[in-house]
Amino acid sequence: IIATVIIAMAYQAGISPPCSVWDDDHKDNQGKILHFAGTSIMAANNPKGYTMFLTYNTISFLASLSTIFLLISGFPLGKKVLTRILMVTMWVTIIFTALTYLLSMLAFLHVHRNSEDGAAPIPVAALFMFVFLCAVAILFLFHTVRYLRKILKSSRIGHQDV
């Protein structure tokens, strides 16, 4: 269910980007088109941020799609390797969904950067992302250490039998 919801979120974010889209074509005084109707406002105002947004959103979408594919393909979920692959895929999905959310919020705040009301949430959003990524790093480290201990333990048992 979670992977399906994340796919829907990523799809919606892809077709309806942060800060909306231009309503009409806009030309300068010489008649040169500055932007076309239906193109992303964020892409025009913050191309680097928009590229990052699309990258993170696409990774989130594909990782979630991969999770669903693994679940419905009939692989035996009792296998530890497949369970770990699913876990890592969901971690990637959740991390990149959070990064997409952060970039979306920063895009909205970028539009209102001159107002006093829009200035405060930027540090809060950055702090949230920092705490979230630290928690993910701790979990990743925990699982890595646990996995390495298991490998070392099994290799010691294998050497004792010889």
Alpha carbon separation from 147 to 3, 50, 156, 159 (Å, rounded): 25, 37, 14, 19
pLDDT score at 63: 92
Cα–Cα distance, 145 to 151 (Å, whole number): 10
The predicted model scores a pTM of: 0.69
pLDDT tens for 79-104 read: 788 888 888 888 889 889 888 888 88
Determine contact, residues 50/43, Cβ cutoff 8 Å. Answer: yes
pLDDT surpasses 70 at 64: yes
pLDDT score of 34 more than 80: no
Distance, CA of 80 to CA of 143 (rounded, Å): 13
Q: For 136-162, how does the pLDDT look when each residue is reduced to its tens digit (9 = 90+)?
A: 889 989 988 998 998 888 887 766 654
